[in-house]
Amino acid sequence: MKENLDLGKGELFIRSLKRRLPEDERGKLGRELTVEEAYNVIKAMKANKVPGIDGLTKEFYVAFWDMVGIHLLGVFKEIMEGEEMSDSMKTGVVSILFKKGNPNHLDNYRPLTMLCVDYKILSKILANRL
């Protein structure tokens, strides 16, 4: 299912934020993404988490950052310039986990959504900026 994004609404939102922010903070929101910024996000992530549908873990990105970092940043820049995210970045796999108690009661289960690490990296960069 392809979503139609209203880029005009997004622009209005960003402009409303810029009006409320001090001048020095405004530049931080729109500045270019950096390799260091992305790597710092990865290093801060918890280890041994379940990856999304692409199977790439935080540990993969840390181990191969010198080879993939600049390419991942290129993908992020394209997304920020209005390109569409990849299907894997837009897909979450939901698994139902048993918590405790009687396994016959639905209340004793919780959903877990597994998202790809590249999506988590980009969303954390943006969240940190906000």
Q: What is the pLDDT of residues 21-56, one digit of tens each?
A: 677 776 777 788 999 999 999 999 999 998 899 999
Going by pLDDT thresholds of 50, 70 and 90, the confidence category of residue 18 is low
pLDDT of the residue at 28: 74
Residue with the larger pLDDT of the pair 83 and 58 = 58
pLDDT of the residue at 19: 66
Percent with pLDDT over 90 in the chain: 65
**Phi, psi (rounded to 5 degrees) for 30:** -100, 0
pLDDT at 15 over 80: no
Average pLDDT in the chain? 88
> Rounded to whole angstroms, how far apart are CA atoms 53 and 60?
14
Dihedral angle computed from the Cα positions of residues 26, 81, 91 and 37, in that order, rounded to the nearest 10 degrees: -50
> Rounded to whole angstroms, how far apart are CA atoms 16 and 35?
28
